[in-house]
Amino acid sequence: MTKNVFDLVVVGGGPGGYVAAIRGAQLGMSVALVERAELGGICLNWGCIPTKALLHSATVLRACQEASHYGVTGAGEARPDLAAMVARSRKVAGRLGLGVAHLMKKNGVTVFAASATLAGAGKLALDNGTTLSAKHIILATGARARELPALPVGERIWAYRQALMPTEIPKSLLVVGAGAIGAEFASFYRAIGSDVTLIDMTPEILPQEDAEISQLARKAFEKQGIRVLTQCAVTASALTATGVKVTLDQQGKKTELEVDRVIVAAGIVGNVENLGLEKTRVKIEKTHIVTDGLCRTAEPGVYAIGDVAGAPWLAHKASHEGVLCVEAMAGKPVHAIDPLRIPACTYSYPQVASIGMTEARAREHAKANGGEIRVGKFTFAGNGKAIAMGEDQGLVKTVFDATSGELLGAHIIHPEASELITGYGVAASLEATEEDLMHTVFAHPTLSETLHESVLSAFGRALHA
């Protein structure tokens, strides 16, 4: 007979949920995981992982097309094989899904393939008729793509699932939403040959990033042939014989654009429906569950982590919350998560990565507290490894408190930005000052030397600028 009483039940098997289940088992808890779809959640199956597989295919294609620049002949006629790219992407996701299933078995986590609803104190009712009991319940139900009334998803208007499994390359494509997801899809489809238009309602693409970095990203996208329209929205759409005709409103000026396909990447909403929350003290704000610094909701014994618990909507934030939440309930010493120490990455071409405050936010913070900031910048054009790679375009920008030397923010735009940002993440976690970073020895020749030079620049000591 399957066990129905546990110390911990986690609802949702994404990067937050399955990590929380593993950590609970490591701490000696009896743990169950309830997942209605695929282990690994949207991130592993329909988000982070398959998109990165497609984007890497685009990187390989780009390298082949530009091979003659590096003294390699015979590769310049490379063409995208879309079916093979998609098949590889799905294979990568499938492999990792099997890996999560193995981890559940290895750690003794009981997995229920079902949906769950809160059914009273410490109880969950599953849609297969089973009732589970647990002292602790973690809701890790994630989020889904926001729907736009003017763009109903279908055969020609895509959300992320459809965009990940195209059967042919659209000759023309409109991407609605220039955040991380939209920028990544725009980069991929442009690389494989689509005529891409990228729009956003805000004044700049990647609106959560530092303004200077966003502007550099826009210039890089436009140089690749991506048409970028900001302060622009879709007010209507209609299917044509072969594509979609949309009405664009850019600051009151209305125009029509006809494209083969549209990708909607206009944000997400939390999966809070059908969880039985209305019968509890759990509070919801803007489709997300309200929690405290230890992931506790207002309902005793009920916790929430990951995308369903609000911004930042990042897989690594969800995983960190999963560990934090379980260790707190086990009585371990923990620290509440600090959003300013969570790196954010966009895997477009070039990549954008950041941690902490933008320059504008840091200036506002300093002004409110009677302080000042120091800003350092270093371009990859001065880095030997970047020049050797043929990737010498980009910028590293650092922001410090002028008095204490605290690292307030760091921002990178470069094809390897996502790998570089962790250096600043470690520094922020260790509360390293500018002096610590300036005295750190960085290997040569490496891209990471730019991190050092940007810090030196903030204090008037750059060596190669």
The stretches of 201-267 forming alpha helices (DSSP H) are 211-223
What value does the mean pLDDT take over residues 136-142?
97
CATH superfamily for domain 5-145+269-339: FAD/NAD(P)-binding domain (3.50.50.60)
180 is in an annotated binding site: yes
Binned at pLDDT 50, 70 and 90, residue 3 comes out as confident
Specify whether the CB–CB gap between 408 and 399 falls below 8 A: yes
Is the domain spanning 350-459 CATH 3.90.1170.40? The answer is: no
Q: Rounded to 10 degrees, what is the CA torsion of 42, 47, 52, 57? A: 110
Averaged pLDDT, 239-253: 95
Omega of the bond leading into 170 within 30 degrees of 0 (cis): no
Of 304, 285, 170, 174, residue with least CA distance to 234: 174
What is the pTM for the complete model shown?
Answer: 0.95
Give yes or no on whether 157-266 and 350-459 have one common fold.
no
pLDDT single digits (tens) 210-223: 999 999 999 999 99
**Predicted pLDDT at 257:** 97
Domain boundaries, the chain: 5-145+269-339, 157-266, 350-459
Domain 157-266 of CATH type 3.50.50.60: yes
Tens of pLDDT, residues 377-394 = 999 999 999 999 999 999
Q: What is the pLDDT of residue 1?
A: 46
Task: Say if residue 181 carries a ligand binding annotation.
Answer: yes
Q: Is 13 known as a binding-site position?
A: no
Residue 52 marked as a ligand binder: yes
Integer Cα distance of 177 and 174 in angstroms: 10
Residue 233 marked in a binding site: no
List residues with catalytic annotation: 444
With a cut of 60, say whether residue 396 has pLDDT above it: yes
Residues 303-336: pLDDT tens digits? 999 999 989 999 999 999 999 999 999 999 999 9
CB atoms within 10 A of CB 55: 19
Q: Which two tokens stand for residue 293?
A: 């610094």
Average pLDDT over residues 95-120: 96
Q: Is 199 annotated as a binding residue?
A: no
The values of phi and psi at residue 49, to 5°, are -75, -55
